[in-house]
């Protein structure tokens, strides 16, 4: 059996899936399998997956009726045979050394249950945008996961299988396999899983250096989804609060302020300055913790929201162009 499994949930991902699978096949750690879960696609996703499987025998395809991203991941976990299990969404990419880096990390740190990395943002065409998620790697507390989600997107973490098993459960109506991700969530299923993991286990969460994941960003319609994203986040809080009411009493307001600030930044990126102003104002009314803990990022968000509201997305485009030029 392969030592590592990479689960690739795929729904109508024909345009990007081959690119994703090529990046996974190119991993320098070779003792792996790639489990593609076709989650009821209506395009040629299944055909693309089969074509890639013919070029790399380590790829196999699981098909199911649509169950959503969480359901596709759960089916992939059930089908996976590796001692460690990573996830890569069907429009993202892994750098060649990613899996090897996580394998070595988990081998030398037996107390770590989740190993993760930073991520570089790529656009719809697969080009790096000059933005990145550069999370804290060490001393990751449950409060930090709640407030800042250092694990980040769903293509960043690699789990020890034993750690996944520690948070698995089976709803009474489920007849086929356990759940690790909550399939009743269609948004925020990642943070629900990470936070539940931290609240209910003693495993350590720790990152490795480098931007080893390339995470695809679709800028279209970001601000239109902010309320739905916030509602999903609030549902996570409502679900998990009974596990540790004292923890949520201490950290919920600050975490909500961070979430509102995050959504404000997304609204800024999509050029919706009015929504950004509303969100950052709500964040500051909820808690000033982000201002005290991360003054530069918070103040820059406030300023960018005001500028975007008054002048549109021109200042943001200019600032992005300048930053990109400086990094080159």
* pLDDT tens column, 169-202: 999 999 999 999 999 999 999 999 999 999 999 9
Q: Which is nearest to 115 in space by CA: 31, 204, 5, 216?
A: 204
Phi-psi region of 12 (alpha: psi -120 to 50; beta: other; left: phi over 0): left
User: Average of pLDDT values for 101-126?
Assistant: 97
Share of the chain above pLDDT 70, in %: 93
Please say if the pLDDT value at position 276 is more than 70: yes
Q: Band of the pLDDT at 219, cuts 50, 70, 90?
A: low
pLDDT value, residue 327: 45
* Region of poorest pLDDT, from 28-32, 49-53, 113-117, 314-318: 314-318
Please say if the pLDDT value at position 215 is more than 60: yes
Q: Band of the pLDDT at 222, cuts 50, 70, 90?
A: very low
**CA terminus-to-terminus distance, the chain:** 43
Side-chain-side CA neighbours of residue 168 (13 Å): 18
pLDDT value, residue 203: 98
| DSSP assignment letter at 152 | -
Please say if the pLDDT value at position 320 is more than 80: no
Q: Which is nearest to 178 in space by CA: 189, 169, 186, 167?
A: 169
pLDDT value, residue 226: 83
DSSP 228-280: HHHHHHHHHHHHHGGG-HHHHHHHHHHHHHHHHHHHHHHHHHTT-HHHHHHHH
pLDDT value, residue 321: 53
Average pLDDT of every residue of the chain: 93
Q: Band of the pLDDT at 313, cuts 50, 70, 90?
A: low
* CA distances in angstroms from 12 to 40, 47, 239, listed in the order given: 8, 11, 30
Residue spans of alpha helices (H) in the chain: 14-25, 45-55, 68-79, 98-108, 142-148, 161-165, 189-200, 226-240, 245-269, 273-286, 289-293, 295-311, 314-327
Please say if the pLDDT value at position 322 is more than 60: no
pLDDT value, residue 217: 86
pLDDT value, residue 312: 75
User: Average of pLDDT values for 3-26?
Assistant: 98
Please say if the pLDDT value at position 129 is more than 60: yes
pLDDT value, residue 35: 98
Please say if the pLDDT value at position 112 is more than 50: yes
pLDDT value, residue 316: 57
Query: What's the pLDDT tens digit per position in 15-26?
Result: 999 999 999 999
CA atoms of 150 and 141, how far apart (whole Å) = 10
| DSSP assignment letter at 171 | -
Helix (H, G, I), strand (E, B) or coil at 41: coil
pLDDT value, residue 220: 52
pLDDT value, residue 310: 86
* Region of poorest pLDDT, from 47-51, 64-68, 270-274: 270-274
Query: What's the pLDDT tens digit per position in 285-295?
Result: 999 999 999 99
């Amino acid at each position: 059996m392969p030592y590592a499994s990479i689960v690739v949930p795929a729904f109508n991902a024909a345009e990007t899936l081959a690119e994703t699978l090529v990046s996974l096949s190119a991993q320098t750690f070779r003792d792996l399998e790639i489990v593609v879960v076709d989650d009821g696609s209506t395009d040629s996703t299944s055909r693309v997956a089969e074509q890639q499987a013919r070029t790399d025998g380590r790829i196999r395809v699981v098909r199911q009726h649509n169950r959503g991203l969480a359901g596709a991941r759960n089916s992939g976990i059930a089908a996976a045979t590796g001692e460690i299990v990573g996830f890569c969404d069907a429009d993202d990419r892994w750098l060649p050394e990613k899996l090897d880096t996580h394998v070595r990390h988990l081998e030398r740190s037996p107390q770590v249950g989740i190993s993760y990395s930073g991520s570089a943002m790529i656009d719809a065409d697969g080009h790096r945008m000059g933005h990145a998620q550069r999370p804290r790697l060490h001393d990751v507390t449950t409060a930090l996961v709640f407030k800042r989600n250092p694990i980040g997107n769903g293509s960043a973490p690699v789990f020890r299988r034993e750690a996944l098993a520690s948070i698995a459960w089976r709803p009474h109506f489920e007849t086929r396999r356990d759940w690790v991700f909550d399939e009743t969530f269609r948004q925020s299923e990642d943070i629900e899983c990470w936070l539940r993991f931290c609240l209910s286990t003693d495993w350590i969460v720790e990152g490795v250096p480098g931007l080893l994941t390339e995470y695809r960003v679709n800028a279209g319609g970001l601000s239109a989804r902010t309320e739905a994203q916030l509602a999903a986040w609030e549902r996570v809080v409502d679900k998990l609060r009974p596990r540790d009411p004292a923890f949520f009493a201490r950290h919920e307001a600050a975490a909500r302020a961070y979430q509102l600030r995050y959504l404000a930044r997304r609204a800024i990126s999509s050029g919706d300055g009015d929504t950004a102003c509303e969100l950052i104002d709500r964040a500051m009314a909820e808690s000033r913790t982000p201002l005290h803990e991360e003054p530069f990022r918070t103040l820059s968000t406030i300023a960018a929201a005001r500028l975007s509201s008054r002048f549109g997305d021109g200042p943001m485009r200019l600032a992005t162009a300048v930053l990109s030029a400086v990094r080159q």
